[in-house]
Amino acid sequence: MVSFRFPFSFTQPTTTRFPSGTFSPATIACSVAVGAGIAAGITISQNPTNPSLQTALNSFISNFSRSSPLWGSLSLADGPDAVVTESKTGVSFPAVLNDSQGLLGIGLRKKAVLGLKNIDVYAFGVYADDNDIKRFISEKYGTLSTTELKNKDITQDLMDSDISVTVRLQIVYGKLSIRSVRNAFEDSVGSRLKKFGGSDNKELLQKFTSQFRDEYKIPRGSTIDLSKEKGYVLRTAIDGKEIGSVESQLLCRSILDLYIGDDPFDSKAKQEIDNKLVSTITK
């Protein structure tokens, strides 16, 4: 990985938070790259006259695409322990999950209670394997220019594909009961099952929610992984312990739609994921 150093200092924006002990020169270099990156965008991907500059640029792009300004915070230097922190809640997500799935974006699930205030329920991160994405896109589109690819709805393609995707939820709200999870789920996922499946699909919903036993506890700090695996299997794990799996393309599609569909929980996160997908396949 090429690292960029800048011969000037700057003031750390007060809204950016870093996990303790992660503030390093590499982090600073990365922050500067974010600013430069906005201006440069991902359009600087063609420079046939200078291949080494091309490589450096690509590295540069991939460096800051991981730390886009929409993200709450930057990771520490690249490496297996790199994390990205959601700025409002301070929750951190590993940059890489299960050795191969890269973080595409993070966001926040809020919920209005009694039509009054919004509570932050959980922070989420969406992960997929770069190589899977590249392979799938090249099979589907062959070679397209960056501009052409930008006009495709890659996120939509990802939702429909059989590519493994993991959505990690990290619970922020301290008083979550299994009952309220079930209710919220029936609303959010239920409406998608209806939209994509054309009927209530009560049985499917039931099959999924019956995995949530009343005795489970999901206090603040719990991690829930919703993993779509090959063959449209949706596997659920709480704090790393599997609680069940359901095979259903409709259910997988409906769950992903909450985060990267047309009416997502966090539209900034969805935007970030769209951008990250384009940069993944064009680098």
By CB under 6 A, residue 245 contacts ligand DAO: no
Q: Which stretch binds ligand DAO (CB under 6 A): 5-13, 49-57, 138-146, 171-179?
A: 171-179
- C-alpha to C-alpha distances, 167 to 39, 125, 202, 257, nearest whole angstrom: 30, 6, 23, 11
By CB under 6 A, residue 246 contacts ligand DAO: no
By CB under 6 A, residue 236 contacts ligand DAO: yes
Q: Residue 108: which of 75, 86, 128, 83 has the closest Cα?
A: 86
By CB under 6 A, residue 233 contacts ligand DAO: no
Residue pair 178/216 in contact (Cβ under 8 Å)? The answer is: yes
Least Å distance, CB 91 to ligand DAO, is: 14
By CB under 6 A, residue 194 contacts ligand DAO: no
For the chain, how big is the Rg over CA atoms in Å? Answer: 20
Q: Which stretch binds ligand DAO (CB under 6 A): 72-80, 81-89, 130-138, 210-218?
A: 210-218
Closer to ligand DAO at the Cβ: 104 or 226? 226
By CB under 6 A, residue 172 contacts ligand DAO: no
The amino acid occupying position 53 is L
By CB under 6 A, residue 121 contacts ligand DAO: yes
By CB under 6 A, residue 185 contacts ligand DAO: yes
**The binder of ligand DAO chosen from 16, 47, 54, 188 (CB under 6 A):** 188
Closer to ligand DAO at the Cβ: 64 or 208? 208
- DSSP-assigned letter for residue 120: E
Residue pair 250/194 in contact (Cβ under 8 Å)? The answer is: no
Query: In the Cβ-directed half-sphere of 203, how many Cα atoms lie within 13 Å?
Result: 3
Q: Which stretch binds ligand DAO (CB under 6 A): 51-59, 71-79, 173-181, 191-199?
A: 173-181
By CB under 6 A, residue 259 contacts ligand DAO: no
By CB under 6 A, residue 224 contacts ligand DAO: yes
Q: Would you call 258 helix, strand, or coil by DSSP?
A: helix
Q: Which two tokens stand for residue 128?
A: 């997929």
Q: Would you call 34 helix, strand, or coil by DSSP?
A: helix
Least Å distance, CB 191 to ligand DAO, is: 10
Closer to ligand DAO at the Cβ: 76 or 189? 189
Least Å distance, CB 143 to ligand DAO, is: 37
Please state, in angstroms and rounded to a whole number, the distance separating the CA atoms of residues 198 and 61: 42
By CB under 6 A, residue 234 contacts ligand DAO: no
Cβ neighbours of residue 233 closer than 8 Å, sequence gap 6 or more: 245, 246, 247, 252
Strand ranges for the chain from DSSP E:
83-85, 92-94, 96-97, 101-113, 117-129, 165-171, 223-229, 233-238, 241-247
Q: Which stretch binds ligand DAO (CB under 6 A): 17-25, 105-113, 140-148, 275-283?
A: 105-113
Residues that bind ligand DAO (CB under 6 A): 109, 111, 113, 121-122, 169, 175-176, 178, 180-181, 184-185, 188-189, 212, 216, 218, 224, 226, 236, 258
